Amino acid sequence: MKFDGTTLHKYTKEKKVGEGTYAVVYVGKQEFSHRQVAIKEIKTGLFKDGLDMSAIREVKYLKELRHNNVIELVDVYMSPDKNLNLVLEYLPCDLEVLIKDTSVVFKSSDIKSWLLMTLRGLHHCHRNFILHRDLKPNNLLLSPDGELKLADFGLARAFGSPNEDLTPKVVTRWYRAPELLFGAKHYTGAVDIWAVGIIFAELMLRIPYLPGKDDVDQLDVTFKALGTPTEQIWPNVSSLPNYDALKVYPLPSRQELRNRFSAATDKALDLMIMMTQLDPSRRFDTTRCLQDDFFLEQPLATSPKDLPTKSSGGDEKRRKTNA
Amino acid sequence: MSDTEALKIFSRQYVSNEMVDILVATTNSVIQIKNAPQQDSTKLVSLRKFICRLIEHSNVQTPTLMTALVYLNRLRGVLPGNAVGMGTTRHRIFLASLIISAKTLNDSSPLNRHWTKYTDGLLTNKDVNLAERELISLLRWNLTVPEKELVVVLHPFLVRIKNDLRKKQEAENRQKSEYYRMSNFQSNNSLSSTKSSIFSSTSSLRSSPSSYHNLVESAPRTPLKEKSIPAMNYHGHGYSYKSASDILSLGPAPRLRAN
């Protein structure tokens, strides 16, 4: 891998495929290999402040993390107009696209497979002391051969000590853990687990599980579904900066959850419950999740190559049979 | 004690003059400077003053400074030996290392326009941005700091921490053995008193724990030690650190990022 100016002309940008607040994404090719790549060009609107912090972190962490379930950083270069370009492996689909496409049928083994790959990628992050902090279906990309890969490390950071302050303003609202909603400045990998638990629920429901309209509503929606945290179930919760128990909702009964997730087996429900514990210290970590009986229960996870997928541009679905 | 433990202790220390010394010396060793004309060098603030002012304004913590130190060391290895800079080159190099370190480690880091302000007019926003870009390219975007590299760079500090702790441990051990010797002496005394006074067995029973208590009270306290032990063992989980910058990303983030 070369990270210098001489790689300048080694890539061609062919088509703009996406635009975010801080970057434009193109599909392109690595010239010498003809490999298809995604090129994320960082906007320099805030040029006054130099290199974008998110971009620096994304490069740093993706260089550290090499894993089948984490997007591969191929190269970094500065274009002649001084813009920063991240060359990433090209992944044509993401989980959000699939969840929204009602013509695609999810089998329970498919959901298990996506959850498993998400947890493997996340486990790799956490064991390298990196928090992702922006997990959502839209950031779980799918390769043509069905592999799921964690992407968008722009909010990621290293963790390691209880002394440091972390910003609670992370994670897209619907996937934000209760400790973040309460403004905690010290949190752990449990915030990522929460997000995965909510994604797990969304895969089963095929609609967002906790779609808060704004930050205040998010608290209400979250606690309506999962109960309001109290000192009893989460010691010291009331000392968090934005703790607020205006409305105290009871914890949902097993039966209520069963009704909501009618297709889930007991083991699936158990795992989801442990990933969405209100008290972060009671939430499962990635190791415990990966060892869960749910993954040993029949039907086993679909092998990646047999998973449904589609490319975000066209609409060719890949699963041939739904048998 | 291992280097890892010493690093953890070191990373919690306040920024000291010695840290500034090593930052100045390392920055000076990165590149030589062509002697500037007299009137220019009088205007130029010394590197040490410059660094102190940046630390003061940004309230940057030890871990961030020490990561910058690693980048400075790397840069020395990258630049050709005969490279020559101008009056402010070293200032630029130092600031760029600090900015990149802060951006990679902390959630709330000063923005480049703030850093520019902290230079007190020595550098423009454009200068600062350019230096940042050049440094990150020279480092080839290799920003991860492995523990090994930190241990090498911080060797003098770590040796001292390890020595201090060893001495403290030894003093503690001496004190402990002294304490046991005395408490044995005491309990032997009270035991013999139990035997002698058959009628007042309860009172003597009560007396032996109370004498024990007195001894504990009178034993000299070592608060430093008590503080340092939980700090050392805080990371109770079974992981080992892959990247030492993870350890170093400590310290309260000084200011909010102004958006």
- Please give the pLDDT value at position B78: 93
How close A308 gets to chain B, by Cα (Å)? 36
Tracing tokens 């700091």 back to the chain, one arrives at: B145
Contact: B112, A53; criterion CB under 8 Å:
no
User: Does position B244 have pLDDT exceeding 90, yes or no?
Assistant: no
- Please give the pLDDT value at position A133: 95
Nearest to A289 by CA among A135, A131, A120, A69: A120
The answer to whether residue B113 neighbours chain A at the CB level (below 8 Å) is yes
Is A8-89 CATH 3.30.200.20? yes
A23 annotated ligand binder:
yes
Considering the segment(s) A93-306 as one domain, its CATH architecture is Orthogonal Bundle (1.10)
Q: Tell me, rounded to whole angstroms, the distance of Cα A98 from its chain centroid.
A: 15
Helix (H) or strand (E) holding A27: strand A23-30
- Please give the pLDDT value at position B90: 94
Quick check: B87 and B40 in contact, CB under 8 A?
yes
- Please give the pLDDT value at position B40: 55
User: Does position B249 have pLDDT exceeding 80, yes or no?
Assistant: no
A40 annotated ligand binder:
yes
Contact: B247, A161; criterion CB under 8 Å:
yes
How close B249 gets to chain A, by Cα (Å)? 7
* Predicted ipTM > 0.90: no
Identify any residues that bridge with A26 across adjacent strands, giving them in sequence order. Answer: A16, A39
Q: Cis bond leading into A162, ω under 30°?
A: no
Catalytically active residues of A, by annotation: 134
The reply to whether domains A8-89 and A93-306 share a CATH topology is no
Rg (CA), chain A: 20
Q: Mean pLDDT in each 10-residue stretch from start to end of chain A (323 residues)? A: 53 89 89 91 72 90 95 89 89 94 94 98 96 96 96 88 77 94 94 98 97 94 95 93 87 95 96 97 98 96 92 49 38
A chain contacts of residue B128, beta-carbon cutoff 8 Å: 50
How close A75 gets to chain B, by Cα (Å)? 10
The top-scoring range by mean pLDDT among A41-45, A112-116, B105-109, B252-256 is A112-116
Assign B248 a pLDDT band (cuts: 50, 70, 90). Answer: very low
Angle, helices B3-11/B155-196, rounded to nearest 10 degrees: 100
pTM confidence score: 0.78
Nearest to A276 by CA among A155, A195, A183: A195
Identify any residues that bridge with A25 across adjacent strands, giving them in sequence order. Answer: A18, A40
**Residue of B12, B132, B144 with shortest CB distance to A63:** B144
Q: Where are the domains of chain A?
A: 8-89, 93-306
Which of B11, B104, B135 would you mutate first to test chain A, the one with the most A CBs within 10 A? B104
Nearest to A209 by CA among A228, A192, A196, A191: A196
Q: How distant, in Å, are the alpha carbons of A164, B164, B231 from that of B224?
A: 22, 12, 11
User: Does position B228 have pLDDT exceeding 50, yes or no?
Assistant: no
A chain contacts of residue B246, beta-carbon cutoff 8 Å: 128-129, 158-160
A21 annotated ligand binder:
yes
User: Does position B47 have pLDDT exceeding 50, yes or no?
Assistant: yes
Using CB atoms within 10 A of its CB, is residue A308 exposed (0-12), middle (13-18) or buried (19+)? buried
Q: How far apart are CA B216 and CA B5, in angstroms?
A: 30
Contact: B249, A5; criterion CB under 8 Å:
no
**Residue of A4, A127, A158 with shortest CB distance to B249:** A158
- Please give the pLDDT value at position A162: 58
How close A198 gets to chain B, by Cα (Å)? 25
